[in-house]
Chains A and B, each alone.
Chain A
Amino acid sequence: MVNHPIPSEVARANRKPKATHAAIGGTLISPFTLVLGALITVAMYFMAQRFMYGLGAVTNINNGYPWGIWVVWDVVIATGFACGGYAMALITYILNKGEYHHLVRPALTASLFGYSLGGLSVLIDLGRYWNFWHILSPGYAQPGSVMFEVAACISCYILVLWIEFSPAFLEHLGLKNVKAKLNKMMFVFIGLGVLLPTMHQSSLGSLLVVFGYQIHPLWQTPLLPLLFLLTAVCMGFAIVILEATLAAIGFKRDIADELPLLSKIGKIIMGILIAYLAIRLGDLVLRGHLGKIFSSGIKSLMFLIEMAAFIYPVVVLSTPANRKRLSKLLGAAMSMLTGAVLYRIDAFLVAYDTGPGWHYFPSVPEMMVTIGVIAIEVLAYIVFVRKFPVLPGHSTSTAAE
């Protein structure tokens, strides 16, 4: 049996003695957090309306468009954003690249909130939300349904994420014994933490496969699950770059130590994106729908914007010099994220045509709820990194005060 190095030990060997995870402390009240609070308050108001007067009072969804942005953004896109934990666990534990270990926990934190709030959004979006628990009760399962697969996987993954993240709590609460016991079992949850997102991120694409001709041929393909999975992994890596940069700027931390790792992640993103573009365009050629890129009106326009957002990072990241510059990495990551967001919005809403007469565009209250959910996510991340040992502990003097 080959004796693989243990990721955490490799990480420890690679780091300076003091560099472990640490809470960065500091005040929670700032103009930025106050704005977040205001946005959350507005969202709460509309959410209360939704629970008092029903979905129709707040959203524009209808029986032709039962999925609005609360599903497409808060679940499909938000869980994509939350793939940072998945992507880092994949590379650190499955591909056994120990040097990325200290990026896992911050990524996991974002995943935790992304998925938990995605699950919460489903609850808000469900007409009969009080039946939510049925998804965890085998008696109600309809195993032939793609939606069941997605819902069950996401529900389980949320639980797994909390367990994966719990060492940070246990450290904070001083429960060393529990933490030690949990660590022995952790490989099971890490395994699940990679398996479950692989399953449901691809199933988000399968959801659209079963829509058949109702999805425009530029997006509809039997390869949708693969394309969704590739973009999800890519989003995970891109979000790690974005997060690291924003944390460095927002909390005034030095990022020089992490930069080489981020460059490598940039290279991975480039590789996945090339594969993605080749598969996507090759599939269009093989199915004979390439001409539709220019002949489908607004859908063509959206497709081209989407493609541009995917191609830009490939071009930028193909130069090794660019991969060493944080600004280029960040620009590429944000462009990649834009492309992935548009891909999901386009596939679920723009490309979807369920017949004459049906319309959907999100209402303002509906969007305010989504914005509020994002605000909750950002605020919770800020609170967590300030209060719990999440970020790699090489904080600058400002934060240490």
Chain B
Amino acid sequence: MYDDTEISREIETRFNLERRDFLKFCAAMAATMGLPKGAEAEIVEAMTSKERPSVIWLHFQECTGCTESMLRAEHPTIEKLILEIISLDYHETLFAAAGHQIEAAREAAMKKNWGKYVLVIEGAIPVKDGGIYCKIGGKTALQLTKEVAEGAAAVIAIGSCASWGGMPSTPPNPTGSTGVPEILVGKPVITIPGCPPNPYNFLSTVVHFLTFGTLPAVDDKGRPKFAYSRLIHENCERRAHFDAGRFALDFGDEGHRKGYCLYKLGCKGPETYANCPAILFNDVGSGSWPVGTGHPCIGCTEKGIGFAKPIHALAELQNQRPPVGYPRIEEQQGAGASIGAIATVAAVGGLAIGAGAKLVGNLGKSEDGQDSGKQG
């Protein structure tokens, strides 16, 4: 049996948390990453006994939505954990300090933990015109990225902007916004795309690094496989409607109100890889994700789809096909006769009856003529 008396005591003093709540958090992290049984124990050990890694968090072209999303993670006192598990040495949103003071703190942390700290980048990096469109402390985002990345043990790009350019790179991309992997060529970069990304995908990645000293397995775009290996479409709660051919065709139409599939409204779920429908957002229960609330997925985790493809455009189906024939959503019950239709019926009917009567009449007259001719 794993003995955690020592650990429990430390948790209580250090995190001000019930032991039970803490273990729940660790188990949730392990489950999110799909780690084998027993991994939660390793996580518990790593988080309580290992030295807290230094984290430097840079903000560039972004809206701070990723940070906001992080702060709203509701597993027990997550903000406490993120501040206690790691040593957050630089974060513009969360720091009270400002100006030269905070820049000095960053440089000091880099020097002290050279080669060991984790670099998190939130926001895209403008490269056009020498990168002058985003500057912090007199340095361009480009310079800062290269400078800080040099001594980083791991680089995590959080959000769609940092992952490939995201919203700032929407065509025509006036500032030349670029994702971190394209700037730091040759250095492995984990990307956690999403607008905002699910905080647990980020936390799980950090905890994985903390526990095993390595980053989780990633796909060809640098996204952790535990979170981004399945299409949204595969786990979508509206999938049954897609298979049955029941689609919302307009916002607010009957199909939309009944919760039918949003594919025909431009939902990008069928071509977007993310675990949104599986782990949801904000820990408030079912339906708490965009498609669940009735808005089509915009494909924010996919380069070339999110912020590039129009919202109404149909998704390219990757591995599923809808049925050939669809039942109707709004039943047309037909209208009464139009004036034109009645006129046509009257004209045709009148013509037929008139011609018939005329024909019979003329025939009768000629017969009468023949009869009288014979008599005469």
A-to-B contact residues, CB < 8 Å: 56, 60-65, 245, 249, 325-328, 330-331, 334, 338, 357-364, 367-368, 371
State the CA gap A330–B367 with chains docked (Å): 13
- Residues in A with CB closer than 8 Å to B353 are 338
Query: Any chain A CB within 8 A of the CB of B338?
Result: yes
Residues from chain A with Cβ under 8 Å of B376 in the complex = none
Partner of B335, one of A63, A325, A359: A359
Q: Is the CB of A334 within 8 A of B336?
A: no
Stretch from B182-190, B268-276, B325-333 contacting the other chain: B325-333
Contact B328 A63 (CB under 8 A): yes
**B333, B338, B363: which contacts A64 (Cβ < 8 A)?**
B333
Q: A359-B334, A360-B334 are in contact. Are A330 and B341 (CB under 8 A)?
A: no
* Residue B356 is within 8 A (CB to CB) of chain A in the complex: yes
B 27-38 to A, binary, CB cutoff 8 A, 1 in contact else 0:
000000000000
Question: With a CB–CB cut-off of 8 A, which chain A residues contact B335?
Answer: 60, 359, 361
A364 in contact with B340 (CB, 8 Å) = yes
In the assembled complex, the Cα of A363 lies from the Cα of B344 at a distance in Å of: 9
* Any A CB within 8 A of the CB of B322: no
Cβ of A359 and Cβ of B344 under 8 Å apart?
no
> CB-defined interface of B316-353 with A at 8 Å, one 1/0 digit per residue?
00000000000010011111111011101100100001
Q: Once the chains are docked, how many angstroms separate the CA of A354 from the CA of B364?
A: 46
- Which one of B333, B344, B356, B367 contacts A367 once the chains associate, using CB atoms below 8 Å? B344
> What are 20 inter-chain pairs, A to B, with CB distance below 8 A?
A61-B334, A62-B331, A62-B334, A63-B328, A63-B332, A64-B333, A245-B363, A327-B360, A328-B364, A330-B363, A334-B360, A359-B336, A361-B334, A361-B341, A362-B341, A363-B338, A364-B338, A364-B340, A367-B341, A368-B344
- For A361, give the chain B residue with the smallest CB separation: B337
| Closest residue on chain A to residue B360 by CB atoms | A331
B108 interface residue (CB < 8 Å to A): no
A-B CB contacts (within 8 Å), total count: 64
In the complex the two chains form, what is the Cα distance from A44 to B173 in whole Å? 51
> Which residue on B lies nearest to A341, using beta carbons?
B352
Contact between A361 and B360 (Cβ–Cβ < 8 Å)?
no
Q: Is B359 an interface residue (CB 8 A)?
A: yes
- Quick check: B367 and A327 within 8 Å, CB to CB? yes
A249 and B341 contacting across the interface, CB-CB below 8 Å: no
* Contacts A327-B364, A371-B348; A359 near B333 (Cβ below 8 A): yes
> Is the CB–CB distance between B334 and A65 below 8 Å?
yes
Given known contacts A63-B328, A325-B364, A326-B367, A367 and B348 CB-to-CB distance under 8 angstroms: yes
Q: Which of chain B's residues have a CB closer than 8 A to the CB of A60? A: 334-335
Assembled-state Cα–Cα distance A363/B342 (Å): 9
In the complex with contacts A331-B360, A361-B341, A367-B341, A64-B334 CB distance below 8 A: yes
Q: Are A358 and B348 in contact (CB under 8 A)?
A: no
Chain B residues with CB under 8 A of A56:
332
A326 B363 Cβ-Cβ under 8 A:
yes
Partner of B333, one of A330, A357, A364: A357
Q: Is the CB of B334 within 8 A of A330?
A: no
User: By the criterion CB–CB under 8 Å, are B360 and A367 in contact?
Assistant: no
Q: For the complex, what is the distance from the CA of A363 to the CA of B356, rounded to whole Å?
A: 25
List chain B residues, Cβ under 8 A from A360: 334
User: How distant is the Cα of A359 from the Cα of B338 in the complex, in angstroms?
Assistant: 12
Known: A325-B367, A326-B363, A327-B367. Is A62-B338 also a contact (CB below 8 A)? no
Closest to B364 in A: A327
Say whether A363 contacts B341, CB under 8 Å: yes
A147 to chain B, nearest CB (A): 19
Look across to chain B and name the residue whose beta carbon is closest to the beta carbon of A357. B333
Task: Please indicate the chain A residues that have their CB under 8 angstroms from the CB of B359 in the complex.
Answer: 245, 249, 330
Decide if B363 touches A361 in the complex (CB within 8 Å). no
Given the interface pairs A364-B341, A367-B341, the reply to whether A330 lies near B336 with Cβ below 8 Å is no
**Complex Cα–Cα for A367 and B341 (A):** 8
Bound state CA distance, A334 and B342, in angstroms? 23
Q: Kindly report which residue of chain A lies nearest to residue B343, judged by CB atoms.
A: A364
CB-contact partner of B334 in A245, A327, A358, under 8 A = A358
Task: Report the nearest B residue to A325, measured CB to CB.
Answer: B367
Cβ–Cβ < 8 Å partners of A331 in chain B: 356, 360
Complex CA distance for A338 and B355, rounded to whole angstroms: 13
